[in-house]
Amino acid sequence: MKGERHDLKCPECGERMVLRSSKFGLFYGCSRYPKCRAAHGANADGSPLGVPADAETRAVRHAAHEALDAIWGLVLRGNGRASARREAYRWLRHTMGMRAENCHIASFDKETCERVVMLCKAKTEVRCCVCGRLRIWKRWFCAEPSGREGISHSYCPDCLARERQKLERHGIRYE
């Protein structure tokens, strides 16, 4: 297993990556090590974990994982860990219009990861435009208005009922 794999290029310098082993398992390291310290994870069979990326893309992938982890962490209440993770990835695949085999953050480019972060934030954080309550995932919480950018606005169930009553008093039917 150990040795060269010529179809993986180092995302930092462009040289080939070599399959190596460590106390943590197999990984791909740049053949120019120690001048280039780029590394990429590998499965037990030597196949790469996703697509190697430069430092900037790895940072955005990390942010995308954190954003998606927030979703499956919220789904976790009342579900098993694996079930919650599956549901979060199912939601992501559906929202992004992807097939299961293509929906792996480790293979996403920078722009796709930025989209994941945006979609997850919109899914997890919605503020009521009347009372300021915050909805995280499917639950509404009383909270002080944060003024944070990127939070969607909607009506909480209580304010929506009041708004519907106002409309109906004026003869407008709300569906």
Q: pLDDT tens digit string along 100-135?
A: 988 989 889 999 999 999 888 877 777 777 877 766
Q: 19-28, 35-44, 132-141, 146-155: lowest mean pLDDT where?
A: 146-155
Q: Using CA of residue 21, residue 22, residue 27, residue 28, what is the dihedral sign?
A: negative
User: How far is residue 111's CA from residue 118's CA, in Å, rounded to a whole number?
Assistant: 11
Q: Residues 6 or more apart from 169 whose CB is under 8 A from it?
A: none
Write down the residue that tokens 């893309």 correspond to. Answer: 57
Q: Where on the phi/psi map is residue 25: left (φ > 0), alpha (ψ -120 to 50), or beta?
A: left
Q: What is the pLDDT of residue 116?
A: 94
Higher pLDDT, 153 or 112: 112
Q: What is the pLDDT of residue 122?
A: 78
- pLDDT bin (cut points 50, 70, 90) of residue 59 is very high
Q: Taking Cα atoms as reference points, which of 98, 75, 105 lies closest to residue 87? A: 75
User: How far is residue 175's CA from residue 173's CA, in Å, rounded to a whole number?
Assistant: 6
Residue type, 130: V
- Specify which of 8-12, 120-124, 139-143 reaches the highest per-range mean pLDDT: 8-12
User: How far is residue 75's CA from residue 117's CA, in Å, rounded to a whole number?
Assistant: 17
- pLDDT bin (cut points 50, 70, 90) of residue 57 is very high
Please give the distance of CA 137 from its chain centroid, rounded to a whole number: 14
- Specify which of 128-132, 138-142, 164-168 reaches the highest per-range mean pLDDT: 164-168
Q: pLDDT tens digit string along 69-93?
A: 877 766 655 556 667 788 888 889 9
Give alpha helix (H) positions in the chain: 55-75, 81-96, 110-124, 157-169
The pLDDT of residue 175 is above 70: no
Average pLDDT of every residue of the chain: 81
- pLDDT bin (cut points 50, 70, 90) of residue 156 is confident
Extract the runs of DSSP E, i.e. beta strands, from 12-147.
16-22, 25-30, 39-41, 126-128, 134-136, 139-141
Residue type, 56: E
Residue 166 has which token pair? 């106002």
Higher pLDDT, 149 or 122: 122
Residue 80 has which token pair? 């098993």
Q: What is the pLDDT of residue 173?
A: 73
Question: Domain residue spans in the chain?
Answer: 3-52, 56-124, 126-169
Q: At what angle do helices 55-75 and 110-124 cross, to 10 degrees?
A: 30
